[in-house]
Amino acid sequence: MNQLIYYLKTELPNIKLKKMLSLMTKWQTAFIFQAPSNNTVRLAYGAIAEHYFAKDEDQFNALKNWQVLLKKNLVNIKQTSENRLALVGSFAFDPNAEKENAFWGKLAQGYFFLPKYTVIKSGNSTELITCSFDAAALEKESSFFAQKLQNTPNYSLTLAEHVPFTKNNTALDQWTDAVAATTDKIQQHQLEKVVLARSLEATFSDAVNPLAVWRKLTLTQPQTYHILLKTASGSFISSTPERFAKFKNQQIQTAAVAGTIKRGQTRAEDDRLGSQLLNDHKNLQEQKYVLEAIGKILRKQGLTVRHSKRPQLLKNTNVQHLYTPIMANGNFELFQVLRDLHPTPALGGLPREKALRQIAQVEPGTRGLFGSPLGYFQFDDTGELAVGIRSALLTANSVHLFAGAGIVSESVPQNEAAETQLKFQPLLHVLGDQTDEHTDIN
């Protein structure tokens, strides 16, 4: 695209988030990003430019080139110093995947777009960034959208009418067989670790509102990222605890997250389970693999890496994980670092290439956006990406949920199945399922 794109930043009065979500129901393409415990929400409405990755394309290099091209054509008509305009969307887990699932549609290889309208709400401050091909119409378009935002009625965002629904778990036996086969290879020292993912389909009598799902997740899972990518092909939603990368000039932050156990019903039980996780050999081994691999990648780029010696607990509503924040400083080429990090051993395995081949051979279906970096890239070279886990793809009246488990030499298929079921629970509960199936991890 060689056409000039004009943009304008304006300050808006304090507007309730519910109004912003209500207006978003009218847009086919949209995006929401909120980091854990953060009162800043980024919302994007409509696409003025978009990029679908081609199969077998180097998606990180492709996005870099597209961002460079767009940046040359951006014109800030007010010449304000701060530029929070960003590309938003998601990469694919494996753009070379041979298997196909029809439900992913055009999202199978990943998708990013430059929003027509971006709203950044932080506390009582609300900022609007409007993009247009027509410089003369830009201020009018911005004012019109701001007026619509303020005058939109609060639509009901409820999911109560979707209960009950049916679940299709037919691939579970195939997946536990894959876990057993993978464990055998690890015990034979052909692999160190492999993360295997599975899906669960829920079917409703009518269409599911992805904005209602996103909103309810913010209320029930406060300590996670809350991300929604809404397109004509479907809506991908993630309530993930895992940061992929937060970056700015000469600094990149990431994290090693691996190892899972449920939350306790009481404070004493929760503390006991947390202590059990912090001292469990299988989970400590899994987390160590992830930490060492990420550190090695960052140091290879010449960065100075800092992290604590022992993991801490990352507690979400349903589960708790072993967690080590990682900080790296120095000069780096952003898209090269991201390419090298994806997928981390927390989503792929070790050795990486062998683990990815095992995933392709034994995992039912294809991951699409599951386990992929998704988030935003500002044109001032700052941004943040999360890992698209604890996620689902919503298409009409179907919801495909995704979860994975790290397989090591000590893995037991039934326990790994229980772990994935535990990871399904936040979304299942939001959708109206109050049962707890296969959640006892021995």
Structure tokens that stand for 214 in this block: 């996103």
Please check whether residue 215 lies inside any domain of the structure. no
Q: In terms of domains, do 105 and 190 share one? A: no
Which among 151, 177, 193 is the end of a domain? 151
Q: In terms of domains, do 61 and 178 share one? A: no
pLDDT at 298 over 70: yes
Note whether 8 and 140 are within 8 A (CB).
no
pLDDT score for 96: 82
Amino acid (1-letter code) at residue 276: Q
> What is the b/e burial string over 354-366, where b = at least 16 CB atoms within 10 angstroms of the residue's CB?
bbbebbeebbbbb
Q: In terms of domains, do 195 and 143 share one? A: no
pLDDT score for 441: 36
Indicate the pLDDT class of residue 92, thresholds 50, 70 and 90.
very high
Among 203-207, 238-242, 424-428, 433-437, which range has the highest average pLDDT?
238-242
pLDDT at 37 over 80: no
Q: In terms of domains, do 147 and 173 share one? A: no
Q: In terms of domains, do 61 and 194 share one? A: no
Quote the number of domains for the chain. 2
Which among 117, 151, 185 is the end of a domain? 151
More confident residue, 49 or 124: 49
Note whether 87 and 7 are within 8 A (CB).
no
Q: In terms of domains, do 333 and 413 share one? A: yes
Please check whether residue 404 lies inside any domain of the structure. yes
Please check whether residue 238 lies inside any domain of the structure. no
pLDDT score for 164: 56
Please check whether residue 195 lies inside any domain of the structure. yes
Please check whether residue 338 lies inside any domain of the structure. yes
Q: In terms of domains, do 402 and 266 share one? A: yes
Which among 86, 120, 151 is the end of a domain? 151
Amino acid (1-letter code) at residue 349: G
Q: In terms of domains, do 178 and 75 share one? A: no
Nearest residue to 285 via CA among 161, 137, 410: 410
Nearest residue to 365 via CA among 170, 218, 189, 187: 170
Please check whether residue 158 lies inside any domain of the structure. no
State the CATH number of the domain containing residue 279.
3.60.120.10
Task: List pLDDT tens digits, range 111-142.
Answer: 999 999 999 999 888 999 999 999 999 999 99
Please check whether residue 221 lies inside any domain of the structure. no
Q: In terms of domains, do 277 and 392 share one? A: yes
Phi/psi for 284 (5° steps) reads: -65, -40
Domain that holds residue 24: 5-151
Q: In terms of domains, do 100 and 178 share one? A: no
Question: For the residues 288-310, what does the mean pLDDT come to?
Answer: 93
Q: In terms of domains, do 20 and 82 share one? A: yes
Look at strands 251-262 and 319-329 and give their pairing.
antiparallel
Question: For the residues 210-215, what does the mean pLDDT come to?
Answer: 93
Calculate the average pLDDT of the chain.
90
Note whether 393 and 230 are within 8 A (CB).
no
pLDDT at 80 over 90: no
Question: For the residues 405-421, what does the mean pLDDT come to?
Answer: 91
pLDDT score for 440: 41
* Percent with pLDDT over 90 in the chain: 66
Task: List pLDDT tens digits, range 248-268.
Answer: 989 999 999 888 888 998 999
Q: Which of 102-106, 156-160, 184-188, 375-379 has the lowest mean pLDDT?
A: 156-160
Q: In terms of domains, do 183 and 106 share one? A: no
Nearest residue to 204 via CA among 233, 248, 165: 165
Note whether 209 and 157 are within 8 A (CB).
yes
Amino acid (1-letter code) at residue 268: A
Indicate the pLDDT class of residue 308, thresholds 50, 70 and 90.
very high
Phi/psi for 200 (5° steps) reads: -135, 125
pLDDT score for 60: 97
Matching residue, tokens 């005058």: 151
Indicate the pLDDT class of residue 102, thresholds 50, 70 and 90.
confident
Please check whether residue 222 lies inside any domain of the structure. no
